[in-house]
């Protein structure tokens, strides 16, 4: 019986061993059978049920049929993973309660995203189209020796489909839907003789805005995204492989629709605002823009020698990002005398090099030794506009400002980052059923940072004008140690302790020269995890469980005080449990269900003006449930008709460490569904789909300042049809 690993919303929460995988018992050293799900997150083929730390994976078929296209689609289907759009071009990821809100030039994400093994060091670089992607894997917990820069919370790995040497392949896909949705995507794989191949893929995705701007007559929350990828593979011998790839993504969109969803009664400025909670409309003074261009090149060489393999990976990436919109969404109160807007301009580049020496596949001890170098250069402007209209209520500044007052505050940020690391990781078989894994990494980061606000008309967040340059460095030794034991071929238990590190940084919008020159401390997290992996009924039932606790030291927390945003350090403890049940019942029925419990609280978080110790961490639901039943009807001709439903529940969330009532998100229930007809030979398919069928309304981002809580909403219900042709 063949496991269809990507029918419906299929979650595979499993474990990964050493960086290149752990040797299992003698019965597990063979290649996985066709009944097993195979991943290469550790850069070799392995059964998901055989290796010890938790990962959730999505295969190519599931990505396509469930319309997993962007990082937020991955988040919606992954227990223990959460996402916040701030705005959508600068996503903030949280894994098991661990995340970072710092978007400044000298800040780093706590949860990393890797595109084809290349670290995307800036939030604005996280732009990819999941078309022609072989697999997406979400690794949870500190990744001390796994991928590139040390990631303290977890990682999302996007693995594109590779060029194939022995087959010509092609596919085209078109989608039409409401909100004038029009999408086209395709790929072409061409062998070049016996030793080389190229693969080209691209997509265009557009839709009109989800909200009408009643002020300008324009639209908000629209999309126009164009992506392309070109790969070349050369295998001159059976032991030598070269690959070269280039990719690009261009986004053009209006600003998000912002709404006043609550008033801060304790702030006298609350009288400037009136409640506006309608998702379908906005009242921004201008439509705004969210424009992003990001591209990169990647080269890899692998040479298999008798004693070890040499693997070199080098990459270069750039991003240019411009966002500007009306932060308050337009005051509907005619007596209002204030309007807030602004945005960011960012230009960044990064270069990374990684050299690995890896044990051969027949080695009794699996080991890897690596060197890693990462350099990044980021130039970022943070802009805040404060407009005070004329007494007739207009915001017309065309006459040079006599019809009102427009004041602009600009922070110019420049940051250069140098990161160097050396690491080693090995898995030692103790018996045919037991293994021990141990790894260590030394990391040294140095940041040069300059910031000034000298081009500002006025200072709202700062209390003085300044220009400051500073440099700081941090180093750390991180490690992991664990063991696993296989009771039988289908049942395994493991334990793993891992420690992660993220370097310190500098304030994004400091209040004064002292704040600008004072770095905040690095983060450290130590996770203790135990888990079981079990398969029943020849793999038709999978039940995996994970229990963990994480001690977090100097967590970098982003706080808002009035208009000022700053980063402070806190200590926290995160306890959690995750479970995955997958059941292939037969007769066309399948079910996948997952649950994540996350208890994330501050042990100590004391600010000059408040004590948040004991509060819940931000953007982390205590409970998250996903259910994905599906039924596939087979016809005598070989055609199939699949019906699938994806349900997601998240309990309530606090968006601010203060756990104040104005920044609270109620529990949410999301329901998606699809019907997919596939022709007898699989050459074409037609999918009818709908998302957010229950018209759930929730805030994807919110912030409280100047007397009001300003928020953005999730998309409304959307529907469409996708026709796909495969060669």
> Can you tell me the mean pLDDT for 162-180?
94
Q: Above 90 in pLDDT, residue 67?
A: no
Q: How confident is the model at residue 104 (pLDDT cuts 50, 70, 90)?
A: confident
Q: Above 50 in pLDDT, residue 477?
A: yes
CA distance 718 to 672: 10
Which 3 state secondary structure label does DSSP give 123?
Answer: helix
CA distance 663 to 705: 11
Looking only at the bridges linking them, the beta strands covering 339-358 and 309-326 are: antiparallel
Residue 598 belongs to some domain of the structure: yes
- 722 and 281 Cβ atoms separated by less than 8 Å: no
> Can you tell me the mean pLDDT for 296-314?
96
Q: Above 50 in pLDDT, residue 400?
A: no
**pLDDT at 32 (0 to 100):** 40
**pLDDT at 659 (0 to 100):** 86
**pLDDT at 695 (0 to 100):** 95
Q: How many domains does the chain have?
A: 1
Q: How confident is the model at residue 48 (pLDDT cuts 50, 70, 90)?
A: low
Q: How confident is the model at residue 4 (pLDDT cuts 50, 70, 90)?
A: very low
Residue 7 belongs to some domain of the structure: no
CA distance 30 to 22: 12
Q: How confident is the model at residue 369 (pLDDT cuts 50, 70, 90)?
A: very high
CA distance 154 to 150: 9
| CATH number for 534 | 2.40.170.20
The token pair at 167 is 């087959």
Q: Above 90 in pLDDT, residue 224?
A: yes
DSSP string, 121-142: -SGGG-----TTEEEEEEEES-
- 48 and 41 Cβ atoms separated by less than 8 Å: no
- 404 and 388 Cβ atoms separated by less than 8 Å: yes
Residue 299 belongs to some domain of the structure: no
Q: Rank 90-94, 260-264, 482-486 by mean pLDDT and report only the highest.
A: 482-486
Region of 305 (left: φ > 0; alpha: ψ -120 to 50; beta: rest) is beta
Residue 300 belongs to some domain of the structure: no
Q: Above 70 in pLDDT, residue 601?
A: yes
Query: pLDDT digits over 266-276, tens only?
Result: 788 787 788 88
> Can you tell me the mean pLDDT for 107-114?
82
**pLDDT at 707 (0 to 100):** 81
- Measuring CA to CA, how many Å separate 113 from each of 10, 158, 250, 329? 21, 8, 18, 31
- 238 and 245 Cβ atoms separated by less than 8 Å: no
Residue 3 belongs to some domain of the structure: no
- 602 and 98 Cβ atoms separated by less than 8 Å: no
**pLDDT at 146 (0 to 100):** 67
Residue 625 belongs to some domain of the structure: yes
**pLDDT at 10 (0 to 100):** 35
The token pair at 499 is 């420690």
Query: pLDDT digits over 702-715, tens only?
Result: 888 778 888 889 99
Which 3 state secondary structure label does DSSP give 271?
Answer: helix
Residue 92 belongs to some domain of the structure: yes
Percent of the chain topping pLDDT 70: 86
**pLDDT at 218 (0 to 100):** 92
> Can you tell me the mean pLDDT for 689-714?
88
Q: How confident is the model at residue 108 (pLDDT cuts 50, 70, 90)?
A: confident
**pLDDT at 337 (0 to 100):** 60
Q: What is the mean pLDDT of the chain?
A: 84
Query: pLDDT digits over 604-652, tens only?
Result: 888 877 888 889 988 889 999 999 999 999 999 999 999 999 999 999 9
Q: Is the model more confident about 314 or about 502?
A: 314
DSSP 269: G
Return the minimum-mean-pLDDT range out of 72-86, 421-435, 473-487: 72-86
> Can you tell me the mean pLDDT for 154-173?
91
Q: Above 60 in pLDDT, residue 19?
A: no
Q: Above 50 in pLDDT, residue 8?
A: no
Q: Above 60 in pLDDT, residue 393?
A: no
Q: How confident is the model at residue 700 (pLDDT cuts 50, 70, 90)?
A: confident
- Cα of 296 vs its chain's centroid, Å: 18
CA distance 681 to 512: 67
Return the minimum-mean-pLDDT range out of 65-74, 208-217, 635-644: 65-74
Q: Which of 399, 385, 315 is nearest to 343 (CA)?
A: 385
Q: How confident is the model at residue 573 (pLDDT cuts 50, 70, 90)?
A: very high
**pLDDT at 38 (0 to 100):** 59
DSSP string, 300-352: EEEEE-SS-EEEEEEEEEEEEEEEEEETT-----TT---EEEEEEEEEEEEEE
Q: How confident is the model at residue 448 (pLDDT cuts 50, 70, 90)?
A: very high
Q: Rank 203-207, 340-344, 519-523 by mean pLDDT and report only the highest.
A: 203-207
**pLDDT at 564 (0 to 100):** 63
- Which domain, by its residues, includes 487? 12-290+309-334+344-726
Q: Above 50 in pLDDT, residue 280?
A: yes
Residue 302 belongs to some domain of the structure: no
**pLDDT at 89 (0 to 100):** 62
């Amino acid at each position: 019986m063949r496991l269809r690993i990507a029918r419906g919303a299929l979650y595979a929460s499993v474990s990964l061993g050493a960086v290149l995988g752990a040797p299992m018992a003698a019965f597990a050293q063979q290649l996985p059978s066709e009944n097993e799900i195979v991943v290469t997150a550790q850069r070799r083929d392995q059964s998901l049920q055989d290796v010890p730390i938790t990962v959730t994976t999505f295969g190519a078929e599931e990505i396509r049929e469930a319309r997993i296209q962007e990082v937020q689609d991955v988040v919606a289907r992954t227990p223990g993973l959460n996402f916040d759009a701030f705005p959508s071009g600068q996503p903030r990821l949280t894994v098991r309660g661990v995340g970072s809100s710092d978007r400044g030039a000298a800040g780093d994400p706590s949860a990393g995203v890797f595109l084809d093994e290349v670290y995307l060091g800036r939030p604005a670089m996280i732009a990819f189209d999941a078309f022609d992607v072989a697999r997406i894997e979400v690794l949870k917990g500190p990744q001390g020796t796994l991928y590139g820069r040390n990631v303290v919370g977890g990682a999302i790995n996007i693995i594109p489909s590779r060029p194939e040497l022995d087959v010509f392949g092609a596919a085209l896909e078109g989608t039409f839907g409401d909100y004038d949705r029009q999408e086209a995507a395709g790929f072409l794989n061409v062998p070049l003789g016996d030793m080389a191949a190229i693969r080209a893929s691209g997509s265009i995705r557009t839709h009109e805005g989800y909200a009408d701007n009643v002020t300008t007559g324009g639209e908000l929350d629209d999309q126009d995204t164009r992506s392309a990828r070109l790969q070349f593979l050369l295998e001159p011998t059976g032991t030598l492989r070269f690959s070269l790839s280039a990719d690009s993504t261009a986004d053009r969109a209006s600003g998000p629709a912002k709404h006043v969803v609550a008033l801060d009664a304790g702030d006298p400025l609350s009288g400037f605002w009136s409640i506006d909670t309608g998702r379908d409309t906005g009242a921004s003074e201008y439509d705004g823009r969210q424009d992003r261009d990001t591209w990169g090149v990647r080269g890899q060489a692998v040479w298999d020698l008798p004693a070890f393999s040499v693997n070199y990976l080098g990459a270069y990436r750039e991003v240019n990002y411009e966002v500007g919109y009306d932060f308050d969404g337009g005051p509907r109160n005619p007596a209002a005398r204030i309007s807030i807007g602004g945005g960011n301009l960012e230009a960044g580049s990064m270069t990374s090099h990684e050299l690995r020496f890896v044990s051969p596949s027949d080695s009794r001890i699996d080991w890897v030794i690596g060197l890693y170098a990462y350099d990044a250069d980021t130039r970022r402007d943070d802009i805040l506009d404060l407009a005070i209209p004329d007494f007739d209520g207009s915001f017309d500044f065309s006459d040079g400002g006599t019809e009102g007052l427009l004041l602009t505050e600009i922070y110019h940020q420049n940051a250069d980052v140098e990161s160097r690391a050396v690491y080693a990781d090995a898995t030692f078989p103790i018996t045919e059923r037991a293994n021990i894994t141990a790894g260590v990494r030394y990391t040294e980061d140095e940041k040069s940072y300059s910031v000034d606000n000298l081009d500002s008309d006025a200072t709202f967040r700062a209390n003085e004008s300044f220009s400051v340059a500073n440099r700081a460095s941090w180093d750390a030794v991180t490690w992991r140690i664990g063991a696993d034991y296989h009771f039988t071929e289908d049942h395994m238990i493991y334990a793993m302790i891992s420690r992660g590190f993220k370097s310190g940084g500098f304030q994004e919008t400091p209040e004064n020269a002292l704040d600008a020159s004072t770095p905040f401390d690095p983060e450290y997290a130590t996770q203790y995890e135990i888990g079981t992996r079990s398969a029943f009924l020849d793999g038709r039932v999978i039940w995996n469980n994970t229990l963990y606790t994480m001690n977090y030291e100097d967590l970098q927390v982003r706080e808002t005080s009035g208009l000022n945003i700053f980063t402070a350090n806190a200590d926290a403890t995160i306890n959690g449990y995750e479970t995955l049940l997958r059941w292939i019942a037969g007769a066309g029925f399948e079910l996948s269900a997952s649950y994540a419990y996350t208890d994330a609280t501050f042990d100590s978080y004391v600010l000059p003006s408040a004590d948040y110790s004991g509060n819940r961490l931000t953007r982390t639901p205590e409970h998250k449930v996903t259910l994905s039943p599906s039924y596939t009807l087979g016809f005598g001709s070989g055609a199939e008709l699949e019906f699938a439903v994806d349900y997601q529940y998240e309990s309530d969330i606090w968006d601010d460490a203060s756990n104040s009532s104005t920044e609270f998100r109620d529990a949410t229930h999301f329901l998606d569904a699809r019907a997919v007809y596939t022709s007898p030979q699989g050459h074409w398919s037609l999918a009818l789909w709908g998302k957010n069928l229950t018209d759930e309304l929730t805030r994807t981002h919110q912030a409280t300042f100047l007397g009001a809580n300003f928020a953005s909403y999730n998309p409304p219900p959307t529907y469409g049809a996708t026709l796909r042709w495969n060669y």
